[in-house]
Amino acid sequence: MSHINPNAGVKAAEIFYPLEFMDCKGIMELTHIEIKQDMPGFNGFLGAWLCRGPVTLLVDVGPANTAGRLVETLDSMGIDRVDFILITHIHIDHAGAVSDLAEHYPMARVIAHEKGIKFLRDPTKLWAGSLKVLGATAEAYGPPKPVKEEKLIPHTQGNIPGLTIIETPGHAAHHLSFTYQDHLFSGEAGGNYFRVGDNEYLRPATPPRFFLEVFLRSVDRLLGLKNQTICYAHFGMAPDSHRLLKRFREQLIRWKKIISEQIRANNGRLVDRCMAALLEQDPELVAFEQMDPDVQNREKIFLTNSINGFIEFLREGADGG
């Protein structure tokens, strides 16, 4: 294992991208598991990555309220052992189900950012903050349960052969990305990526408190890795990580320009004006018009959060890093 520090009721369906390949350690099979949600527009949005090989890894596990669906799918696949649960960040849509999964697989250990461990051990503050930011969406995800101390491993002490852990703050201060067997598990450090028909849709995940230069440095860190397959938390896989990370980097700079212009205009309803301008001017968002109305409504929730992060950053005029 190597670690890169930046110097500072419905079944989940086993779907998407089953892959096998051979390397010096043997065969690894990668499966993307969708974790279905009960909210309109939230299917095809949350997933876990299962890596089966010399060790069995599970990357992100979704919200607490759908932990049973993920367990049921893993059981239906014959998975009786998970060695490590890798958490890209502790937000409740990624780590809410950790306690249940760690209990279901007693041998499993959980690797998360050392700054996030305390919030997994005692999620009281995490839950309160999630309610404040996400409101009804947080309620639908459900409150996370405490994870037992003996299950938790700070990322600086993780030791899995062939795994590289990269600190990638930006979406969250405690964000990690992982590379394993020529696959980059980027969480939300490379944005959110969806296929809409034949088109690609790429959106930043920049909620408050957001610092642009911190995020850009994390993107550059991922671009410094070899080109490989990129696996997103939301919500799929694409070849050529460099292609998409370069596009995402350009998108962040584009958003800064567009939102700065709207702030200077100063004529009310700022978030609405920013959203309209972004949907009109950002080519990465063109596929929004092809989404179902429920999916558009979901995206508006997260577009609003991301716009608010940019607005706060731009108005404060400081980069915190």
Q: pLDDT tens digits, residue range 255-269?
A: 999 999 999 998 889
Segment 6-26 mean pLDDT: 35
Tell me the pLDDT of the chain averaged across its residues.
90
The answer on pLDDT for 220 being more than 70 is yes
State mean pLDDT over 124-138: 92
The pLDDT assigned to 8 comes to 40
pLDDT digits (tens, 9 = 90+) for 83-129: 999 999 999 999 999 999 999 999 999 999 999 999 999 999 999 99
Banded model confidence at residue 2, pLDDT cuts 50, 70, 90: low
CATH of the domain at 186: 3.60.15.10
The pTM (predicted TM-score) of the whole model is: 0.90
Residue 62 domain flag:
yes
Alpha helices in 135-224 (DSSP H): 136-141, 212-223
Question: How much is the pLDDT for 239?
Answer: 93
CA–CA separation, 229 vs 30, rounded Å? 12
Q: Considering its fold, how many domains does the chain have in total? A: 1
Q: 158 or 251, which is more confident? A: 251
Question: Which domain range does residue 83 map to?
Answer: 2-242
Q: Is 25 helix (H, G, I), strand (E, B) or coil?
A: coil
Which pLDDT band holds residue 133 (cuts at 50, 70, 90)? confident
Is residue 265, in this structure, part of any structural domain at all? no
In a domain, 51, yes or no: yes
d(CA 171, CA 211): 9
In a domain, 150, yes or no: yes
Is 301 part of a structural domain of the chain? Answer: no
Q: Is residue 281 part of a domain?
A: no
Q: Is residue 306 one of the residues assigned to a domain?
A: no
Q: Is residue 289 part of a domain?
A: no
